Chains A and B, each alone.
Chain A
Amino acid sequence: MASTLLSLASATPSASLSFHEINKGKLNRGCMNKEKTNPFIKAKSFGRVSMVVASNVSRFEGITMAPPDPILGVSEAFKADNHELKLNLGVGAYRTEELQPYVLDVIKKADKLLLEKGENREYLPIEGLAAFNKVTAELLFGVDNPVIRQQRVATVQGLSGTGSLRLAAALIERYFPGAKVLISSPTWGNHKNIFNDARVPWSEYRYYDPKTVGLDFEGMIADIKAAPEGSFILLHGCAHNPTGIDPTPEEWRVIADVIQEKNHIPFFDIAYQGFASGSLDTDAASVRMFVARGMEVIAAQSYSKNLGLYAERIGAINVVCSSPEAAARVKSQLKRIARPLYSNPPVHGARIVANIVGDSALFKEWNAEMEMMAGRIKNVRHKLFDSLSSKDKSGKDWSFVLKQIGMFSFTGLNKAQCDNMTNKWHVYMTKDGRISLAGLSLAQCEYLADAIIDSYHNVS
């Protein structure tokens, strides 16, 4: 463009400032130009003389490409691969034995019911659908939990797990400025982004022990103890993502002891309730234990996996307070945070969940389907373990495959070994060694075992 006065070759954010400064000087000239070809339209001449000044350079010239998402990038690479024996073990999305996405039967029924009811699509209140908020808290804490009867839980519908975590992060930033969130090492990649963007400082506590491919319990306790008093400890309620390694009930008790001792606040991220063991109550045991001790607890829920409602973005943030009055105040502030984020949450997913959980027949059906899904994954774990044990003659202990729980398994493979999995065996997984068992079929277990054994022993 002829009128481009600057060449912003450097692609750094600071380039935007220099663009600004440069323009300050130039604009005072106010040049009168005839109609120019501008990059946006082949304009019909309006016969007007327009005052065009140095404005064909975009203001966003200096913006660089954001790094690709490490998880979604796996699926893209998988799609691009033409090999017939490829496996996509990247994204944590449930697949059937035929490796198809699965829409739960209860969802189809609930959707049909909603269509027939023909309900309007008016705005929900900022805190979301009341019926949904009621059932989601009951699902997590138990219908008869005293905290619910005493109205001590502030529940706000959120945009699945991500949105609910973001609300809580904003609450922490606003009311506990400077307080840190401790996240496990490793943890779901988006946790860091959420806290960064919410301007909440975070640090890590040891969690995964590569030597045992299990929990580094001593390290975890030590790091939680060492954190400044009044920190927020982010815990995965069940089926830890990405490792699949959960503390035992006894270990949970010790964790609760330490958190109470240091006056930290437990912050649960529960994305797999029902999906880990197949039982909704069992998977909520850790949260309920903390609550039973009288602790104040934050808990984010997601229905993406256990109801397969990934793309309907339905979840909730719950804050268990020591009094109903505190819960009311906290809820009002969560609403205050949500309004300038998205005004009010989407209605569709909330209605589906409320219908399913609120109807005893549908709820029973859901429990059965969840057991089926969790059961399939357990079967796959067993098959994989059997294949590994029988094929690998080195005596390596592969039992961690059985001990881990939920959709994911941390194989213990390093980056080079993961690359071998992909390049040689066309097995797509994240570079931290995580495989999504939900994307594995029984028929493929032997092939995968071969791949893992080869990568583990022959690549370093």
Chain B
Amino acid sequence: MEDEPHRCFSFLPTFLPLHILIYTPNPVLPEHNRTKSAAVFFHILTMIISRFLRRGISTSTSPTRRRSWWDHVTPALKDLINAVTDAFLADPCPYKINLGVGAYRDDEGKPVVLQWVREAEGKIGATNFLESTSTAISSKLVEESAKLIYREDLDVIKERRFAGIPALSGTGACRIFAEFQKRFYPDSTIYFPDPTWSNHRNIWGDAHVPGRTFHYYHPDSKGLNFVALMDDVKNAPDGSFFLLHPCAHNPTGVDPTDEQWREISSLFKVKNHFPFFDVAYQGFASGDVERDAQAIRIFLEDGHSIGCAQSFAKNLGLYGHRVGCLSILCNDKIQAVAIKSQLKQISNAMYSSPTIHGISLVSKILSNPDIKALWLKEVKVMATSIQRMRATLREALERLRSPLNWQHITNQAGMFCFSGLTRAEVDQLAKEFHIYMTHDGRISMASVTTKNVDYVARAIHEVTASNRDTKILHNIGAYKVNTDICSTFLGTNKTRARGMNLAL
């Protein structure tokens, strides 16, 4: 009975989240400075009203009749990528296909446990470790990760002039960097390529660093919009933070050429921008870990101080173990120690450290030449099979006499293909053909197998042949116009044709 009058006020708590919009607390001090008096007034008002409401609540042991603390918590929007998997799992159709998550599959469509992982795990067993050992293993991981991405023979590596910590895969590394950026450059923003991995925005957003975009993908050519990219880099305020994908861009698979990277690096130097690289696919783009690190090496040659988030989820096949590394290059060892201490402090308040199991695996494989050689072979096999599937899918579509241009399937690199399919076409693929992919038309090529490629090609052909206005989007003429623009700028008309050339 006493709850009756409360129900008419039950809308009030939903106003509480408005506080988020109308003030920004000082993140550094434990006691926040309330500088927005409107928020304070409103907060007091709701407190008074809710106190009035709650006075009637007794120590009732019947929970269902009582107002919940959590009434104002709305259901969260589903994560875009996981939502695809959820829809896929809910589908009872026996021949359904999931082209959503970027996880490597064998030709049966099954997850793969890499041979090197089995070997290394056998050696680790139930680790009998001391805290000191786990510190040593963490340091080893950081050292080996840095060698992998930056090259062993660089002075900055030999002299240990970098700060690094193990992180919870790529996400964790990016998040710690975002928090670090917020802490030491509180007014800075971050520039993402348009488009980028959907979680990047959330990561920097939750760290309270506003995100901006720079042009990247050209929907007409399904390639790089290099002119606009350079324009945006030039027009950004000096000393801006940029997030770059050094290879196998997610979601588009479109990478700049070496020459384009050099131009970008030069412009970054002039503008004094800070390049932060998200390295999720080293080895996966070309099959060669050295080749895939080329963009970063180019920036290092130009003397940039860079930061790097490395993920070992895909290339080492350690998805669920959540292992990665965050590193920041420094001027000297003293600074490296200081920065590392700050990174550690941030991660200590978040989750302390990644698992010893995952860290042990990675440091074992990177520091043991035999296991490393085995891994490099396996990575080449995975990358090559993806390249093969790209060619097969493209051929299948061309054999079906699709009127559209599917060159981009083989031009793009890495795990994903930005198909150019519209949202409606993606929905149709799911509904009618039980093929699932993210709404932006991103296909995980790693899930396309010899067994399903013909079906996938037929399905794509079906939904596109009738729906698409071919003149506007897939026109070969439009593609040529764009390459002319690029060649005027660059003095070259070479576009990168990955996948077609398997011997890289």
Contact = CB atoms under 8 A, between A and B. Distances in A.
B272 to A, nearest CB: 6
A54 interface: yes
Interface in A90-143: 91, 93, 101, 103, 107-108, 111-112, 115, 118, 120-126
A217 B281 CA distance: 56
Contact of B199 (A121, A343, A345): A343
Interface in B18-32: 19-20, 25, 27, 30-32
B196 to A, nearest CB: 13
Contact of A229 (B51, B134, B168): B51
Interface string A50-64: 111111111111111
B342 A51 contact: no
A39 B345 contact: no
B320 A163 contact: no
Interface in B38-81: 43, 47, 50-51, 54, 57, 59-64, 66-79
Interface in A201-223: 201-202
Given A123-B103, A229-B51, A348 B76 contact: no
B341 to A, nearest CB: 4
A198 B28 CA distance: 10
B328 interface: yes
A69 interface: yes
B301 to A, nearest CB: 6
Given A197-B179, A202-B30, A122 B270 contact: no
Contacts of B345: 66, 193
Interface stretch (B125-133, B248-256, B375-383, B477-485): B125-133
Given A312-B356, A330-B70, A101 B64 contact: no
B154 to A, nearest CB: 5
Interface SS of A by simple majority: loop
Contact of A340 (B50, B128, B205): B205
Given A66-B341, A177-B16, A311-B356, A54 B72 contact: no
A65 interface: yes
B247 interface: no
B156 A39 contact: yes
A259 B115 CA distance: 55
A159 interface: yes
Counting chain A residues whose Cβ lies within 8 A of the other chain, the interface size class is 35 or more
B341 A195 contact: no
B113 A120 contact: yes
B75 A332 contact: yes
A40 B155 contact: yes
Contacts of A341: 168, 171-172, 175, 206, 350-351
Given A201-B32, A341-B175, 13 more contacts: A36-B303, A41-B156, A41-B301, A62-B184, A103-B128, A118-B113, A257-B59, A293-B61, A296-B70, A322-B64, A332-B76, A341-B168, A348-B357
Interface of A: 13, 16, 20, 23-24, 27, 30, 36, 38-43, 46, 50-66, 68-69, 72, 75, 79, 91, 93, 101, 103, 107-108, 111-112, 115, 118, 120-126, 152, 158-160, 162-163, 166, 170, 174-178, 190, 192-199, 201-202, 228-230, 257, 260, 263, 265, 293-294, 296, 311-313, 319, 321-323, 326, 328-330, 332-333, 335-337, 339-349
Interface of B: 16-17, 19-20, 25, 27, 30-32, 43, 47, 50-51, 54, 57, 59-64, 66-79, 82, 101, 103, 111-113, 117-118, 121-122, 125-132, 134, 154-156, 161, 168-172, 175, 179, 183-185, 199, 202-203, 205-206, 238-239, 266, 269-272, 274, 300-305, 313, 317-322, 328-331, 335, 337-339, 341-342, 344-346, 348-358
